Structure 1
Amino acid sequence: MTNDTPARGADRPALVVGLLLLAVAGVVYYDASQQTITSNYGVGPTAMPYVACVGLVLLGLAHLFVAFRDGLPKPEAADRGALLWIVGGLVGLIACIAFGAGFTLATTILFACTARGFGRRALAVDAAIGFVLGLAIFLVFAKLLTLLLPAGPLERLFL
């Protein structure tokens, strides 16, 4: 009786991703352990980095498990047009912030381009939705949380 399935090693992409996730978890843990800010009321600013660290460790271990078990599924071919829309939205966001156009316009561009990248064809409607969401988020941060996001000419009207 022979086994027809060839012996194979670990799935290399899953193994590499798993090891990278564990390495990032180590860096996050080290960085959180070096923080000197303390809290008088229990949960301090280091709580979330530790939570993120635990999540990264779990993801890393899951990737290692998959690497030695079944391997990752083979990815489909990338839609270059969709990727270009999304990357264009990110570039637009960075440019708006860098050149002082403000958070609302940056969010509008990112939202509309990402929606287009996911196949939606109503660019003007998506830009309007992105504008309303961006302005609402800016106002919540500025007025309720008293945290300033990058402000442009439009945001200065509300400050």
Structure 2
Amino acid sequence: MRSIDATARRIRALVMRRGLSANDADEVAQEAFLRLEEARRSEEIAAPEGFVVRVALNLAADIVRRHARWRFEPVPVEEMDLHDPAPTPDDVIGARKRLDRVRAALDALPEEIRTVIVLKRLEGLTIEQIAKRENVGTATVERRLRRGLTLLAEMDTE
């Protein structure tokens, strides 16, 4: 086998051509020589230089695979899609104002009309369910609903 230094330089050059950094190449060479020594304890290695090179190439392939899986490539902030789906403060304020207007409009309705609107639009009850709950006919519920929606539309245009 060539000298250890010459073999280490050869390994370093080989694995760096496969995309490893100089630090990773040094680590791979050192680990390959350690594995050679461990293998020599249990068996005779006929071609130690070939063994070390093959181990180094295998280790390099493992590192390249690991880096490919976990590669982080920096992207300038300007190119990132940083859209926040949360409403903007202006949207929140606008929604609160609309909600306040709806509450005020509902509060301005007569009680029996407001009840029908709330049960139908907010609680999702059917006209029949509202009629049964309020002890009135379906025609009365429909009339109150129509009247309530008309009043709300008039208040919205004011």
| Higher RCO (CA < 8 A, seq sep 6+) | 1
Higher helix share: 2
Compute the TM-score of the two structures, normalised by the length of structure 2: 0.26
- Bigger radius of gyration: 2
Compute the TM-score of the two structures, normalised by the length of structure 1: 0.26
